[in-house]
């Protein structure tokens, strides 16, 4: 396909841009942060997302959704990033939906209506250490009765305590480090033996440490195949990664635009600081980095939507590049704003915090650069 | 099947049928590249045959109109043709500054007579062109150039000196910036075409740090240029030059070794697996390389549909050339002491070291990286100041 958005996609972008700017701008984020909201997002806004059709953007039309692809989900995510709009969109409507699309009909029927209505939130319980290591999952699911008994711990479960269901990856066979032998489960928030402790993160999002103490689930809680969870997990992770990359394009572009505006207005030494070549060159370089990130993210999205064999490579490269470029944007943003950039009152610091969270989400730039190297044969 | 897919099948069938097997292997060096021109000596019958077949089909310049030697393909069809050529590993039938630089300028600024005459010659690979822009005192500040054409009625008499003229010693004709009005800096330059065999033209190769001499100094001593050999209006040559520089930047930014997304890491696995820090550098380079290819693809798609900013090629030139330098630094590091060899059989005459040094010019020629950043900052980001 051509590496440009088509008319429908441009229209979606316009409506997502208008919606986020009016309903969920940075002031909205600040409001929920300052009230110490235990969810870290507004349920009212999540309902509005549903009214816009965003929550079911990746759900097939036959099941009530918009039946769109990663490019369209990414368009919404970019606007979320630009406005720092807090919502469960990335975890629930992108990652969880991609996993549930591979589940049986009964499970899809159970969860899709709530997602479509903007009532359901789903947490992704994958991480067990401080860094993203999905193949090292040690959480165990033993056969028990009609189903399985889950034991282990998870962390960095974003919006975990606000979730109605957790997608939990556990080992049903094989050794830690192997990709075979994993299974994904849909675990109800009220399941006996499941406990969560929420922590507020640097970007004001809420994330949970989850303890699974012999949590009993029925066989119908399995998403995909027993022992074959890696296929579902990979799909879910790649959707989440390319989604996070798209959101970082939004965060980075938002920070960059704010910074360029500042360069054009702030005066020192009797002139606008944007006249200084030292800053101009850094600005132009940053612009190039963000444009590159935007390009590789679009490429990865379109390859995923095509089901292309190289999609995995490009998703890894996109997550890495978007992470590096967005990180540069927020660092340059704070530095070029000078003292005011260090204040809580000014928005640029909020972008820096959001970047950090998104960079760690489903593998940082170094993790994904390493995967690029492996996939490239060295 | 969509029209484009029908075209893809046809193009593939034509390439299968017409591209000789020898022309489907990677070019080993500059001697394998067909530059055409009066004095070009074909390296093989296959090279000659491949050029002739492409000329007959219009595939040396597929997107040019048929009347000027092209195949009249749409931008989408041209992209498909290039994809199919890449898949089969087909070499470019003809490399030419005429195709990359002068052609687009003539298509935009030339008279109908000039288009038919010069574009046809370019498409057929009959004339090899060089570019006369830079002067010893005019590098980044190109408009300060002094080479002067004195008006003698039906012709100009040109005197002066150019420098960094690529392959001037091998070229048949030159497209050259000549001052025709000393009182107006920007609107006092004309864009002239003339034969390098005209009396008074001499060239002197410049030996570079790579040990090779792809560039020359070019001297003009009372060179007579007929008036009809001007492109565009008198004293408005800077408009033509700027337009053409955009194309040069696209060309230089595209210099990424194999021009594709294939990683050089796999072939270097033995070294990289023992040096984790170097492997990490290579991995980050691969991320940047995949990014640049996607960026280039997006830029070309936007450019063709008129959505790209007119100054965007400056950004691509900056990013692409810096990336190519980085690639060659990595090639040298991974190559270790063997990459230091300058004159041995096993190093193919020091090709790694020479290529590495050659790439240092990428971010200087056709506008330095610093000038590119100035342009991006002022024209795209609209930063204030002079």
Q: How far is CA B276 from CA A118, B25, B63, B284, in A?
A: 46, 33, 46, 12
Numbered residues of chain B with Cβ closer than 8 Å to any chain A Cβ: 76, 263, 265-266, 268-269, 272-273, 279-280, 282-284, 286-288, 290-292, 294-295, 297-299, 301-302, 305, 307, 315, 318-319, 370, 372-374, 376-378, 380-385
Q: What is the pLDDT of residue B257?
A: 37
Q: Which residues of A touch B381 (CB under 8 A)?
A: 260, 280, 283-284, 287
Contact A317 B286 (CB under 8 A): yes
Contact B287 A314 (CB under 8 A): no
Q: Compute the average pLDDT of residues B293-315.
A: 90
pLDDT confidence bin for B304, thresholds 50/70/90:
confident
**Is the pLDDT reported for residue B248 higher than 70?**
no
Q: What is the pLDDT of residues B7-43, one digit of tens each?
A: 999 999 999 999 999 999 887 777 788 999 999 999 9
Q: Which residues of B touch A3 (CB under 8 A)?
A: 294, 297-298, 301-302
Distance from CA of B226 to the nearest CA of A (A): 43
DSSP B279-324: HHHHHHHHHHHHHHHHHHHHHHHHHHTT-S-TTHHHHHHHHHHHHH
The ipTM of this complex is 0.96
Contact B295 A292 (CB under 8 A): yes
Q: What percent of chain B has pLDDT over 90?
A: 77
Contact B283 A369 (CB under 8 A): yes
- Tell me whether residue B368 is exposed, middle or buried, using C-beta atoms within 10 angstroms of its C-beta: 0 to 12, 13 to 18, 19 or more: middle
Which of A4, A285, A317 is nearest residue B287 as measured by Cβ atoms? A317
For A295, nearest residue in chain B (alpha carbons): B295
For B305, nearest residue in chain A (alpha carbons): A4
Contact B291 A291 (CB under 8 A): no
Residue B218 and residue B222: Cα distance in Å, rounded? 13
Q: What is the pLDDT of residues B152-200, one digit of tens each?
A: 999 999 999 999 998 999 999 999 999 999 999 999 999 999 999 999 9
Q: Which residues of A touch B256 (CB under 8 A)?
A: none
Q: Which residues of B touch A378 (CB under 8 A)?
A: 263, 265-266, 268-269, 272-273, 279, 282
Which of A292, A366, A376 is nearest residue B265 as measured by Cβ atoms? A376
Contact A370 B374 (CB under 8 A): no
pLDDT in tens, chain A (378 residues): 789 999 999 999 999 999 999 999 999 999 999 999 999 999 999 999 999 999 999 999 999 999 999 999 999 999 999 999 999 999 999 999 999 999 999 999 999 999 999 999 999 999 999 999 999 999 999 999 999 999 999 999 999 999 999 999 999 999 999 999 999 999 999 999 999 999 999 999 999 999 999 999 999 999 999 999 999 999 999 999 999 999 999 999 999 999 999 999 999 999 999 999 999 999 999 999 999 999 999 999 999 999 999 999 999 999 999 999 999 999 999 999 999 999 999 999 999 999 999 999 999 999 999 999 999 999
Contact A292 B265 (CB under 8 A): no
Residue carrying structure tokens 């967005």:
A326
3-class DSSP state of B226? strand
pLDDT top residue among B139 and A377: A377
pLDDT confidence bin for B250, thresholds 50/70/90:
low
Interfacial A residues in 306-325 facing B (CB < 8 Å): 313-314, 317, 320-321, 324
Q: What is the pLDDT of residue B256?
A: 38
**Is the pLDDT reported for residue B253 higher than 60?**
no
- Across chain B, mean pLDDT equals 92
Residue A165 and residue A147: Cα distance in Å, rounded? 17
Rg of chain A, C-alpha, whole Å:
21
Which of B269, B291, B305 is nearest residue A321 as measured by Cβ atoms? B291
CA torsion sign, A135 to A137 to A140 to A143?
negative
pLDDT confidence bin for B262, thresholds 50/70/90:
confident
Which of B287, B299, B380 is nearest residue A287 as measured by Cβ atoms? B380
- Across chain A, mean pLDDT equals 97
Domains with residue ranges and CATH for chain A: 7-121 (1.10.540.10), 124-228 (2.40.110.10), 231-375 (1.20.140.10)
3-class DSSP state of A3? coil
Q: How far is CA B296 from CA A50, B22, B291, in A?
A: 36, 29, 9
Q: What is the pLDDT of residues B87-126, one digit of tens each?
A: 899 999 999 999 989 999 999 999 999 999 999 999 999 9
Q: What is the pLDDT of residue B254?
A: 53
Domains with residue ranges and CATH for chain B: 3-95 (1.10.540), 129-236 (2.40.110.10), 254-380 (1.20.140.10)
């Amino acid at each position: 396909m051509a590496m440009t958005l088509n008319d429908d996609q441009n229209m979606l972008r316009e409506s997502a841009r208008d919606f986020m700017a009016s309903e969920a701008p940075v002031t909205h984020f600040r409001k929920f942060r300052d009230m110490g909201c235990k969810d870290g997002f507004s349920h009212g806004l999540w309902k509005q997302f549903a009214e816009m059709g965003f929550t079911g953007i990746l759900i097939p039309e036959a099941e009530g959704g918009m039946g769109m692809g990663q490019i369209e989900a990414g368009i919404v995510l970019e606007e979320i990033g630009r406005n720092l709009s807090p919502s469960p969109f990335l975890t629930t409507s992108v990652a969880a939906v991609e996993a549930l699309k591979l589940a049986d009909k009964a499970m899809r029927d159970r969860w899709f209506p709530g997602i479509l209505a903007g009532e359901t939130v789903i947490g992704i319980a994958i991480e067990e250490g401080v860094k993203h290591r999905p193949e090292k999952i040690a959480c165990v699911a033993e056969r028990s009765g009609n189903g399985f008994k889950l034991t282990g711990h998870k962390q960095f479960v974003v919006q975990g305590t606000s979730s109605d269901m957790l997608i939990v990856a556990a080992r049903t066979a094989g050794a830690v480090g192997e990709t075979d032998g994993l299974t994904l489960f849909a675990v109800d928030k009220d399941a006996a033996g499941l406990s969560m402790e929420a922590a507020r993160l640097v970007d004001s999002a809420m994330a949970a440490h989850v303890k699974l103490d012999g949590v009993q689930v029925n066989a119908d809680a399995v998403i995909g195949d027993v022992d074959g969870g890696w296929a579902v997990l990979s799909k879910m992770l790649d959707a989440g990664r390319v989604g996070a990359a798209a959101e970082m394009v939004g965060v980075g572009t938002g920070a960059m635009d704010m910074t360029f505006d500042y360069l054009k207005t702030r005066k020192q030494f009797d002139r606008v600081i944007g006249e200084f070549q030292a800053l101009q060159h850094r600005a132009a370089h940053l612009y190039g980095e963000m444009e590159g990130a935007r390009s590789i993210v679009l490429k990865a999205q379109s390859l995923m939507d095509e089901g292309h064999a190289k999609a995995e490579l490009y998703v890894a490269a996109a997550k890495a590049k978007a992470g590096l470029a967005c990180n540069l944007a927020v660092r340059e943003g704070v530095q070029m704003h000078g003292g005011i950039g260090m204040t809580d009152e000014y928005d640029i610091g909020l972008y820096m915090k959001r970047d950090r969270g998104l960079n760690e989400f489903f593998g940082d730039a170094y993790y994904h650069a390493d995967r690029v190297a492996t996939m490239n044969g060295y | 099947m969509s029209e484009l897919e029908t075209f893809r099948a046809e193009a593939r069938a034509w390439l299968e049928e017409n591209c000789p097997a020898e022309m489907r292997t990677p070019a080993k060096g500059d001697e394998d590249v067909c530059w055409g021109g009066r004095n070009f000596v074909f390296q093989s019958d296959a090279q000659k045959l491949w050029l002739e077949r492409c000329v007959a089909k219009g595939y040396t310049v597929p997107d040019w109109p048929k009347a000027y030697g092209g195949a009249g393909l749409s931008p989408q069809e041209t992209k498909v043709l290039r994809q199919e050529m890449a898949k089969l590993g087909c070499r470019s039938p003809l490399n030419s500054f005429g195709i990359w630089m002068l052609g687009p300028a003539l298509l935009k600024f030339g008279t109908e007579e000039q288009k038919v005459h010069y574009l046809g010659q370019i498409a057929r690979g009959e004339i090899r062109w060089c570019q006369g822009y830079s002067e010893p005192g005019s590098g980044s500040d190109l408009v300060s150039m002094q080479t002067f054409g004195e008006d003698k009625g039906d012709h100009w008499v040109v005197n002066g000196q150019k420098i960094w003229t690529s392959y001037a010693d091998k070229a048949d004709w030159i497209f050259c910036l000549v001052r025709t009005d000393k009182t107006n800096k920007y609107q006092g330059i004309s864009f002239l075409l003339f034969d390098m065999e005209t009396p008074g033209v001499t060239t002197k190769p410049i030996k570079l740090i790579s040990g090779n001499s792809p560039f020359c100094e070019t001297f003009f001593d009372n060179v007579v240029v007929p008036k009809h050999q001007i492109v565009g209006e008198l004293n408005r040559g800077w408009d033509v030059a700027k337009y053409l520089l955009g194309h040069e930047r696209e060309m230089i930014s595209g210099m990424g070794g194999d021009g594709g997304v294939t990683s050089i890491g796999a072939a270097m696995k033995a070294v990289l697996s023992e040096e984790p820090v170097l492997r990490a550098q290579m991995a980050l380079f691969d991320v940047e390389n995949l990014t640049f290819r996607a960026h280039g693809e997006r830029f070309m798609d936007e450019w063709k549909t008129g959505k790209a900013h007119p100054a965007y090629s400056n950004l691509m030139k900056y990013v692409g050339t810096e990336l190519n330098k980085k690639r060659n630094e990595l090639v040298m590091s991974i190559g270790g002491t063997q990459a230091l060899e300058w004159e041995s059989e096993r190093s193919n005459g020091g090709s790694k070291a020479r290529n590495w040094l050659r790439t240092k010019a990428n971010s200087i020629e056709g506008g330095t990286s610093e000038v590119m950043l100035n342009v991006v900052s002022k024209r795209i980001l609209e930063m204030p100041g002079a």
